[in-house]
Amino acid sequence: LAPEAENPTNPMCLIENNPKEQLRVNQEALKILQSIQQPVVVVAIVGLYRTGKSYLMNKLAGKKKGFSLGATIQAQTMGIWMWCLPHPKKPDHTLVLLDTEGLGDVEKSNTANDSWIFALSILLSSTFVYNSMGTIDQYALEKLQYVTELTKRIKVKSTPPKDSEGEEEDSSDFLRFFPAFVWAVRDFSLLLKLNGKPITEDEYLENALKRKKGTEKKLDLAKKCIRQYFPSRKCFVFDRPASRRALEELEDLPESKLNPDFLEQVQHFCSYIHEQAQAKVIQGGHTVTGTSLGHLVVTYVDAICSGSIPCIENAVVALAQIENTAAVHEAITYYEAEMGKHLKLPTETIEELLEAHAQYEKEAIKVFLARAFKDVNHEYQKELGTQLHAKLLEFCSRNEQASSDRCQAVLTQLFQDLEEEIGKGSYSVAGGYQRFLDDQKEKVDQYYLVPGKGLMASQALQDFLKSKEAAAQSILQADRTLTDKQKEVEGEPQFIASAREAELHEKMKDEAVRRAQQQEKSFEEHKRQLETKMEEDRRKLLAEHEMVMNAKLQEQRRLQEEGFNREVNRLQGEIQRLHSAMSEQSSGGPGFCVIL
């Protein structure tokens, strides 16, 4: 967390759902969220009102109080509330808890927003907790009608495939982007047994999601959607925490007054979420920070308020533009800071500056690639390359100026007494010219011995001596001991020897060659790091494909057992397409080219 946002003492409303108004993002909460530059593990909880959602979230926060509980039939939470805390198990991660208003509250004037609250919870979370009461039965599944409406509330792609067959075509894409699904069953009073044998909570859930031919369409559709859309499913059951009367004081009730089995179940739930819930990622395995999560919040809520359906692909593209622009800025800022901190100007040689540039350019590219994603045609990396080259030229210019300033100061100080002698006319006498030459040579020799002048030392000396030619000519003409022929010979421009000019010319040529070589090295470094990044992205994409493939194969087996042959055939087609995509990715896919 950024210092100003560290450990907010209380939860804040992130998305407001006010009576007779559209959903609205709370700017103060958004500011806190966007100040978090760490990866975020986002846990959202939804369910019918008055089912104890907030109590579980407070336990995940490690607090007795935080999200409002309330013990009456009136709902307490309106909209989506946020609590950002340091993650208890994952260093350098932030735990973002999202508590939502209860679904199905008849007193709400904005009941139409229930579906949007449900959809936003899925879009924003990495782990989605559905909280219900009693058992997972027909009634509980009917209350999950919101999951059957997801294809009407969320789009994965901006344009559906041409061979779209309606509701079915999005299942693979939803599977890629949806969070892990956890069903929390409260006040559970049954024995976990099936056909007389003990079963686990997860087995209880999967058995409840078994489909049967002839089942009412609404009930079957809820099971079908949960199985198709959520790649990971987990179940927890909880005993009643205390007597009904005691529930009115649940926040203040000491643990000694609570059901020990309930406390153990809550601890098991919290341990699982803390240890297993993953950081939120988006397309291509890119990890989401609080900053980028805040951008997603704004994008999705704006889409809803404009009457559109939130589109994951559009949101990711918009986020990529924001993040890639920020990545360029962050990389350049890093480069400037490191160069300014470690490079002492002026440098004695151009190599010293170019070596520093190469080191911090390499690190700046790492900074950029760590944040950038979906950089189509590498446009943002090209921009980074352009800006880094411009910064190199800027540092070269500053280095030359620092050297020139240092040399000028040294020359001014060294030649001060000589200037005074010229001003007094000390050299405008017989033999004065030779004495002037000797004194000037002595100063030049002293100048060469002064350290830290930088790479403009020769150029600065040459320019300085040029500026003194008029005074030298005046002294020469005043020296009465020389004949006119001697004055003519002595007066030839000997202070700027052709050898020195040639040396300066060669030095400038050498520096130009070294800069060109450095630009070529920069190109190769960009290319090398990009290749590494693309290979990493390819592995992530393959892992994503494998996850979807395994989920599809598992679902296909279940459908075969349940006798849904048409759906089995449809899944087989999807599996074949996934195989083709994985084969293409495994072979490395099409090549690429970096142009800086």
Query: Could you read off the pLDDT of 427-471 as tens digits, one per residue?
Result: 888 888 889 999 999 999 999 999 999 989 988 998 899 888 888
Question: Taken in order 197, 199, 205, 207, is the CA torsion positive or negative?
Answer: negative
Q: Per-residue pLDDT for 490 more than 80? A: no
Give the rounded percent of residues in the chain with a pLDDT score beyond 90.
46
Confidence of residue 164 (pLDDT cuts 50, 70, 90): very low
How do residues 239-250 score in pLDDT, each as one tens digit? 988 766 655 566
Residue 451 Cα to chain centre, angstroms: 45
Which class for 453: exposed (0-12), middle (13-18), buried (19 or more C-beta within 10 A)? buried
pLDDT at 372: 92
The 10 Å Cβ neighbour count of residue 246 is: 15
- For 78, the token pair is 């309106």
How do residues 174-188 score in pLDDT, each as one tens digit? 888 899 999 999 999
pLDDT at 298: 96
The 10 Å Cβ neighbour count of residue 59 is: 17
Report the phi/psi class of residue 142: left, alpha or beta, with left for phi > 0 and alpha for psi in -120 to 50: alpha
- For 186, the token pair is 């409260």
Q: Which residues pair with 130 in a beta bridge?
A: 46, 183
Q: Which residues pair with 184 in a beta bridge?
A: 131, 236
pLDDT at 433: 87
Span 28-33, average pLDDT = 96
- For 252, the token pair is 């203040």
pLDDT at 75: 43
The span from the CA of 411 to the CA of 459, in Å, is: 12
Q: What is the DSSP letter of 48?
A: B
The span from the CA of 107 to the CA of 82, in Å, is: 23
The span from the CA of 32 to the CA of 318, in Å, is: 21
- For 260, the token pair is 């020990």
Q: Which residues contact 537 (CB under 8 A, 6 or more apart)?
A: 284, 285
How do residues 109-160 score in pLDDT, each as one tens digit? 556 688 899 999 999 999 999 999 899 988 888 888 888 888 888 988 877 6
Residues in the chain: 596
Span 394-414, average pLDDT = 94
Q: Per-residue pLDDT for 570 more than 80? A: yes
How do residues 513-541 score in pLDDT, each as one tens digit? 777 788 788 888 888 888 888 888 888 88
Buried b (16+ CB within 10 A) or exposed e, 344-355: ebbbeebebbbe
**What is the SS3 assignment for 173?**
helix
Q: What is the DSSP pairing of strand 24-25 with strand 80-86? A: unpaired
Report the phi/psi class of residue 285: left, alpha or beta, with left for phi > 0 and alpha for psi in -120 to 50: left
Q: Which residues contact 93 (CB under 8 A, 6 or more apart)?
A: 38, 39, 40, 41, 87, 279
Residue whose tokens read 């010219």: 433
How do residues 287-310 score in pLDDT, each as one tens digit? 999 999 999 999 999 999 999 999
Query: Euclidean distance between the first and final Cα of the chain, in Å?
Result: 35
Q: Per-residue pLDDT for 374 more than 70? A: yes
- For 331, the token pair is 């990389």
pLDDT at 234: 96
The 10 Å Cβ neighbour count of residue 552 is: 19
Cis peptide preceding 346, ω within 30 of 0: yes
Residue-averaged pLDDT of the chain = 84
CATH superfamily placement of domain 3-157+170-310: P-loop containing nucleotide triphosphate hydrolases (3.40.50.300)
